Structure 1
Amino acid sequence: MDDIVHRLSDHVLEVIFSYLDLHTLRNCSLVCKSWYRFLNDENNYIWRMHCIKKLAQEALSSDLLSSVPTYKDKLRAFYHAWNPNDCSRNVYIKPNGFTLHR
């Protein structure tokens, strides 16, 4: 089994990992060194796809994220800036995901 994991091409890993959520990707990075190295590339296809899925286009092209260098860092910034479980009924977030209104 271990030999099969090492022989998977990067393209096959991209396809498989693109279907997984962020928590599962974190767990996958703990499976072996090659998966860790693959997922540690913060600008690869996987992180780009998750940015496109999770962040509004307005947020991705905003001044707030333009200075953030990698797709994985953009996801981190977004999740640290906004927690949807920490909001009252009088607070709402604009479509860019970062502007808070009371």
Structure 2
Amino acid sequence: MSKPNTLAQDFDFAKVLPEWRVNLDTQELERVFVFKDFKRAFEFMTLCADFAEQLDHHPDWSNAWNKVSVRLSTHSMKALTELDITMACTMDQFALKVSA
């Protein structure tokens, strides 16, 4: 697998990922997803886990009942990359699907 591309210095996180917090010091994206109940949180995590396997890019995450806390970073590059953006955008879409 080839190395993912790092993001441009002027990447507009606020526009692309308005619900995510960006920590440039640690090179991480962070978000807490809140669902109606545990079942929906688990459904979200299952969708994300399947996609992460396909992408071969896995989140650091935890679950507490209806909340899923997520941190994304490309650890092998010690940077945020296109993989993180792809994963974050897909997670946002899965959250909408599960919450609908």
What is the TM-score normalised by the length of structure 1? 0.28
Structure with max Cα Rg: 1
Larger relative contact order (Cα-Cα within 8 Å, sequence gap ≥ 6): 2
What is the TM-score normalised by the length of structure 2? 0.28
